[in-house]
Every structure is written in C-alpha cells, then in structure tokens.
Amino acid sequence: MPCPHLPEGFDATDPDLLRSRIPFPEFATLRQTAPVWWCPQPRGITGFDDEGYWAVTRHADVKYVSTHPELFSSTENTAVIRFNEHITREQIEVQRLIMLNMDPPEHTRVRQIVQRGFTPRAIRTLEAALRERARAIVGEAKRNAAADGSFDFVTRVAVELPLQAIAELIGVPQEDRSRIFDWSNKMIAYDDPEYAITEEIGAEAAMELIGYSMNMAAARKECPAQDIVTQLVAAEGQGNLSSDEFGFFVLLLAVAGNETTRNAISHGMHAFLTHPEQWELFKRERPATAAEEIVRWATPVVSFQRTATQDTELGGQKIKKGDRIGLFYSSANNDPEVFESPEVFDITRDPNPHLGFGGGGPHFCLGKSLAIHEIELIFNALADELPELALAGEPRRLRAAWLNGIKELQVRIPTA
C-alpha cells in the first residue's frame, strides 16, 4: 500500500532521484511514520516477478537485519536493489561466487581466509607506500592545474589512491596497473548514460580481471613468494582459496574498494569546502575522528539488500519468506535517535556509530581500516600541500541506483 505521507511513486532506488538529492528528506518521514515500508516498484524494474521491497530506514532496524543472516540472506544479489538492466537467474548464480553474496557457513570459511590480507599489520605494511602515493597525487594535481588554478578533483585526486591501494595490497606489478584500473572502471556499471558503459563491456572487463587474478594465484601456488597472494592461495594447514575463488575476490575488491572510497574522498572535499570552519579545524588539529565523519556524511553506499529466509517480523511489519529487504544506510546515518544533529558535518563527532561500512554482522566491510587510512592520508596531503583550495563549481552527481556518487568537482588553487 502506498505510504500516505510520501509523494506517490516515491522509490529510494530511483537513479534520477538519487542523482538529485541525498539523503532524501523522505527518509525522515519514513523513519517517523513507516520505518519498515513496502515500496512498490513497477513490474520489470528488477527483472523479477515481485513488485517491490521493504525499505528499512531506522538505524536499529538496519543493524538488526545485518546481524541476523539466518533470517535475512545475502545470496540473492545483495548489492543492488534495482539493476539498470534486467538481471537473470544465471547471473545471480554466478554472483554467489563472490563472498558478499554468500551466507554462513560458506561465507565464514572464505572470510576467515581473506581476513589474513587485512590484519592491522598488513595495512601498516602498505602505509608508507600509500602515504607517498597520496603526496604524489596531490603534487601532480597541483602541477597540472589550469592557468587559473582550476582542476577536477574527482579525476585528478579522488580516483587514484583507492585503486593504487588495492593494487598495492595484492601486489599487482606497476606495469600491469593501468590494465587493472581500466577493467575496474568499466566494471562499475553505471546507470549514467554519460559513461556509455554497456553490460557487455562491464562483463567482459570482469572476465578479464578474473582471468588475470587467477593466473596470478596459479603462479603463486607453483612458486610461493613473501606476499599476500601467497598467503591467501597457498597457506598451509588453515585452508586456502582456490584460484577461481581468488579471482572473484579480486573482482569484489575492485568494485567494493574502489568507487566507495573514491566517493567518500570527493564528498569529503566538497563537505570541507562548503564548511570552511571544519576545513580550518582539520588543517589545525587533524582530529582522528574526521575520516569516520566523512564516511557518515558521504555514505557512499546508499543501500544494500537482503532476502527473508522465512516468515518473520520487523518493525511491526509481517515479512514473508522471499521478500526483499532494502537496507538504507543513508537514512540510518541520519537517524536522530542515534546522532545528535545529524544534519551537521562535525569532524569531531565522537562516538560516531555510523553504518557507512554496513550494519555489523558477517559482511561488515572488510576494507574499513584501509579505507579510513586512505581518507586520512589524502586529506593530510591536501591540508599540507593545497591548504587554500576553493570550490570552483557545483558538483556533478552520478546517476546511479545505490551509489552516492560525484563524477565531477571543480576546485581551484588561488593563483594570486
């Protein structure tokens, strides 16, 4: 039944709406009046026979669903509620090879193995290389700025570090990195016509990246080295990943760790430039709480999906087995029950129990520490090298069904 408090036809996965304004003011209405709301979708949008999904908008409910995988499964295309094209059953079967779309106990086995690559020690090992990268990226943006000091922050700064971090993590040789970057960018199938990326181009890029990674795994099995790939595929005694599991894991990293961090950085810069007192505070004090607030503010992943494994109840609603559940992180991160003045960008916010990296539970973002490090490194480099940066235009928003994206953000280094 349509919600009487919402404009007719409101659907928080509509890419045109998402491009125009996030977080939606409608989320506040939903949290107050219908926190678990059946959002009807016209038949055909999702490629399934169903006609909608439950929109879960309160912080507590998003956490509850995320931490009860026995009630809410991840095996039915977790990442996107609305696809840009019709998805087939076969595609969903293939996607189950990616850990994001697995349930325990299978998920537990894979997660225990890949966690080895994300220990605090493993992340610390990357730090010096990434710090240097961050400085080089900012230095290059500065050198290559136009005569009036302007440049696009997204392509010149935000894009590069997340990809370099993943390449560094899995030890992709320097000469192969441009191929990895190209495949990764093509795989993120946009709903934005400007990118002219078809499903076929995306699928082809995914296959090439998987093939490349599988070869890498096979080589390490044959000839072990002192690196993370060897640890994941050739570790003795505690199980390991098969070469194709490794291929799908790299595919997940290229999607999950790439656009998310890129958009956190772009939104963070925009937030600083539109809240100059926060930028001054950051430059002066570099609070350790800043990166978490940037992720809360940006919430790059607007929503993910689960599917009910049995009849159950949520927020007073009767959920039927097979119903799709949309977890709106973007709404949870603005829930006044949890955050004081959520509409305020406050880099000293502490505690900050935002759900930008997920609502807890088995799928909680594996790359959280890496992402936080990247955000800190890039903003530290910007504060040191480009402290006077100014906004030179409104951000151009990405048209996407689940991602809070910025595709262009013109900034300017004052020249006088």
Q: Provide the minimum distance between the beta carbon of 148 and ligand HEM in the complex, in angstroms, as a whole number.
A: 31
Q: Which is nearer to ligand HEM, 41 or 266 (CB)?
A: 266
Q: Which of 180, 301, 308, 347 binds ligand HEM (CB under 6 A)?
A: 301
Q: Which residue is nearest to ligand HEM (CB)?
A: 367
Give a three-class secondary structure readout of the chain: CCCCCCCCCCCCCCHHHHHHCCCCHHHHHHHHHCCEEEEECCCCCCCCCCCEEEEECCHHHHHHHHCCCCCEECCCCCCCCCCCCCCCHHHHHHHCCCHHHCCCCHHHHHHHHHHHHHCHHHHHHHHHHHHHHHHHHHHHHHHCCCCCCEEEHHHHHHCHHHHHHHHHHCCCCHHHHHHHHHHHHHHCCCCCHHHCCCHHHHHHHHHHHHHHHHHHHHHHHHCCCCCHHHHHHHCCCCCCCCHHHHHHHHHHHHHHCCHHHHHHHHHHHHHHHHCHHHHHHHHHHCCCCHHHHHHHHHCCECEEEEEECCCEEECCEEECCCCEEEEEHHHHCCCCCCCCCCCCCCCCCCCCCCCCCCCCCCCCCCCHHHHHHHHHHHHHHHHHHCCCCEECCCCEECCCCCECCEEECEEECCCC
Assess 406 for contact with ligand HEM (CB under 6 A). Answer: no
Site string for ligand HEM, 66-105 (x = CB under 6 A): x--------------------------------xx-----
CA angle at 147 for the pair 142 and 149, rounded to the nearest 5°: 45
Q: Which is nearer to ligand HEM, 98 or 411 (CB)?
A: 98
Burial class (CB in 10 A: 0-12, 13-18, 19+), 35: buried
Strands 303-308 and 72-73: antiparallel
Assess 356 for contact with ligand HEM (CB under 6 A). Answer: yes
Assess 111 for contact with ligand HEM (CB under 6 A). Answer: yes
Considering only 16-24, 120-128, 297-305, 389-397, which stretch makes contact with ligand HEM by CB under 6 A? Answer: 297-305
Q: Provide the minimum distance between the beta carbon of 173 and ligand HEM in the complex, in angstroms, as a whole number.
A: 18
Site string for ligand HEM, 175-214 (x = CB under 6 A): ----------------------------------------
Q: Provide the minimum distance between the beta carbon of 101 and ligand HEM in the complex, in angstroms, as a whole number.
A: 8
Q: Which of 357, 380, 386, 411 binds ligand HEM (CB under 6 A)?
A: 357
Assess 290 for contact with ligand HEM (CB under 6 A). Answer: no
Distance CA 338, CA 341 (A): 9
Cα 290 to Cα 82, 90, 165, distances in angstroms: 32, 42, 20
Q: How many residues bind ligand HEM (CB under 6 A)?
A: 28
Q: Which of 23, 149, 367, 405 binds ligand HEM (CB under 6 A)?
A: 367
Considering only 29-37, 44-52, 53-61, 256-264, which stretch makes contact with ligand HEM by CB under 6 A? Answer: 256-264
Contact assessment for residue 46 and residue 80, using Cβ atoms and an 8 Å cutoff? no
Q: Which is nearer to ligand HEM, 138 or 166 (CB)?
A: 166
Assess 149 for contact with ligand HEM (CB under 6 A). Answer: no
Assess 324 for contact with ligand HEM (CB under 6 A). Answer: no
Q: Which of 189, 264, 389, 401 binds ligand HEM (CB under 6 A)?
A: 264
Q: Which of 71, 134, 256, 332 binds ligand HEM (CB under 6 A)?
A: 256
Q: Which of 60, 219, 365, 391 binds ligand HEM (CB under 6 A)?
A: 365
Q: Provide the minimum distance between the beta carbon of 118 and ligand HEM in the complex, in angstroms, as a whole number.
A: 7
Q: Which is nearer to ligand HEM, 73 or 261 (CB)?
A: 261
Q: Which of 229, 366, 389, 413 binds ligand HEM (CB under 6 A)?
A: 366
Q: Which is nearer to ligand HEM, 319 or 366 (CB)?
A: 366
Site for ligand HEM, rule CB under 6 A:
66, 99-100, 111, 166, 252-253, 256-257, 260-261, 264, 295, 300-301, 304, 356-359, 361, 363-367, 370-371
